[in-house]
Chains A and B, each alone.
Chain A
Amino acid sequence: MRLRGETEPMRNLAELDLPHLPVEDAAFAADPVSFFRKAKESNPWIAGSNLGYWIHDYQAIKDLLSKDDKLRPAYDGIVQMLGAHGTPWGRFTEEQLISLPPEQHAMLRTTFAKKFTPRFANQLRPMMQETIKRMLDEWAPKGAFDFEEFASSFPITVMFTLVGAPVEEIEGIRKSLETLGLAFSMDPNRVPEIHAAYDRLEKLVQRIIAERRADPRRGDKADLLDLLIDTSEEGNVPERQLEDLVIFFFVAGYDTSKNVLTYTIRLLLDRPDLYERCAVDHDYCRKVLDEGLRLFNPGSVPRFTDEDIVYRDVLLPKDTMLWFTLNVSGRDELAFDDPDTFNPDREIDPAARPIPFSLGRHMCLGQHIARAQLQEALHQIAQRLRNPKLAGEYGWRPYPGAWGLKGLPITFTPAEAPADA
């Protein structure tokens, strides 16, 4: 495969004098954009690290990541690096939906795609509204709290409702998901707790599937779990893959949405005018979230080259590990005007659209559910937590994996729910 550039002599990746990024460091997690901009002075699109290579240029990400047939997901490489091959978590990570070979992935994804459409997401909005309202009824009277902690209960409560899981398990599973979300930070010291967290989640998923098979809900009472079980039976999907899909649903949906909501609120703390508008303008919340997702999203996506690739006259040999920085790609100065400014009203150029949910066949299956729940949450939060102010310092989660803010202390004036909320 050869993409762009026909005149320069080809160079092997190993021959390049690439900048080295300390992606594991706390200082990097606190400000990766500055590190990538500095790296760009040495090489405009690729940098090295102890964990593999980082593709950090928006156009390079688009050019390469959209070539589904030239790359394969690298989750097996992560399991290998953490020495977890052969463990239950390692097996899941290597065999989860996104990791499957193309034909199997396509079959499963097609089978389940109809349960993750915008129509389905829109049908869930009343449940999402009810969930966030209930949470705000409990939390808003406090007048101050850690917003990240508050946000961490929202997506998981929505997910538990979607599959009818027992609410008394939410807190335990939330802790498990918190641990699993740190798995890709590549810290081998975390491995024992990752295994314990995975075990708890797997047992819950196996139990709720078994219970639902024994006592299915029908008609109006059927939920996502019934639909997934029915769909898996129609498509002859093995039980293990159904379980993996439900586990994946939890893992992929937890700290992604939580971290986006937390970071968006951080942005809005500096723009009370926009925050006020979110309280009265449901549609505008979507624009705010889109712009928030441009400035920040949690994901950096690992891939292996599945064949030799020549890009910008550089040979990326087969089996090279590449990380694609979706999370800061919207801050690329070459692709976006005034990239550091939070402006939900900015014009979106279709040729330079933010790509928080990735590209190609592995594009996030849950993106429509995520967008809907974030919009519903933001609209109601802005109505109930008035005049929010930053009330202390916050930290950052490790950069590789599910990046985001660590804590967000705020104070605010509590407000009652509007009559029609």
Chain B
Amino acid sequence: MVSVRFVQANGDERTIDGEAGLTLMEAAQNNGVPGIVADCGGNCSCGTCRVFVAAEWFGKVGGPNELELEMLEMHADRRDGERLSCQVTLSDELDGLTVSLPRSQF
């Protein structure tokens, strides 16, 4: 299992164990993490599962793919480390990952 810490915009925290091979979005939804809306169910079409990867994890998580980058342009509050969690696949090397959530996904 891969441990991931989610930090909400109001400071609330929740750490979950996600199965390697699932996307970060799926793991969050399976564990009831609030704020990951994911209307499109992981098809990179809605842009509502956005997270900000903690700076120390940028290297291991990597940056957005081309389609994801174009999707992220729907948001006004752009920040370093932003990813759509449906495009991040959990693996053992991400064990201990910390991500924060935006105030709004819309």
Interface segment, one of A142-150, A191-199, A349-357: A349-357
- Chain A residue numbers with a CB within 8 Å of B99 are none
Whole-angstrom distance between the Cβ of B19 and the nearest chain A Cβ: 18
A109-B43 in contact given A350-B34, A353-B37 (Cβ < 8 Å) = yes
Alpha-carbon gap, A119 to B61, bound state (A):
23
Q: Is the interface of A mostly helix, strand, loop or mixed?
A: helix
Whole-angstrom distance between the Cβ of B12 and the nearest chain A Cβ: 14
CB-based contact A363/B70 at 8 Å: no
Whole-angstrom distance between the Cβ of B32 and the nearest chain A Cβ: 10
Whole-angstrom distance between the Cβ of B39 and the nearest chain A Cβ: 5
Whole-angstrom distance between the Cβ of B91 and the nearest chain A Cβ: 22
CB-based contact B73/A117 at 8 Å: yes
Cβ-based interface call for A365 (8 A)? yes
- Chain A residue numbers with a CB within 8 Å of B35 are 350
A351-B74 in contact given A360-B40, A363-B45 (Cβ < 8 Å) = no
A361-B70 in contact given A348-B104, A351-B34, A353-B106 (Cβ < 8 Å) = no
Alpha-carbon gap, A384 to B35, bound state (A):
39
- Chain A residue numbers with a CB within 8 Å of B3 are none
- Chain B residue numbers with a CB within 8 Å of A40 are none
- Range, interface on chain B: 20 to 34
Cβ-based interface call for A359 (8 A)? yes
CB-based contact A361/B73 at 8 Å: no
CB-based contact A350/B37 at 8 Å: yes
CB-based contact B70/A114 at 8 Å: yes
Alpha-carbon gap, A122 to B71, bound state (A):
11
- Range, interface on chain A: 20 to 34
Cβ-based interface call for A178 (8 A)? no
- Chain B residue numbers with a CB within 8 Å of A109 are 43
Whole-angstrom distance between the Cβ of A225 and the nearest chain B Cβ: 19
Cβ-based interface call for B41 (8 A)? yes
A363-B106 in contact given A117-B70, A118-B71, A120-B70 (Cβ < 8 Å) = no
- Chain B residue numbers with a CB within 8 Å of A119 are 69-71, 73
Residues 360-373 of A, flagged 1 when their CB comes within 8 A of B and 0 if not, give: 11010101100000
Alpha-carbon gap, A331 to B105, bound state (A):
21
CB-based contact B73/A118 at 8 Å: yes
Chain A residues with CB under 8 Å of chain B are: 66, 68, 109, 113-114, 117-120, 122, 290, 348, 350-351, 353, 355, 357, 359-361, 363, 365, 367-368
Sampled A-B contacts (11; CB under 8 Å): A114-B67, A114-B70, A119-B69, A348-B106, A350-B105, A353-B37, A353-B106, A357-B46, A359-B39, A363-B41, A367-B46
Beyond A113-B43, A120-B70, A357-B46, 11 extra complex contacts between A and B, CB < 8 Å = A66-B41, A117-B71, A118-B74, A119-B71, A119-B73, A290-B106, A359-B39, A360-B41, A361-B41, A363-B39, A363-B43
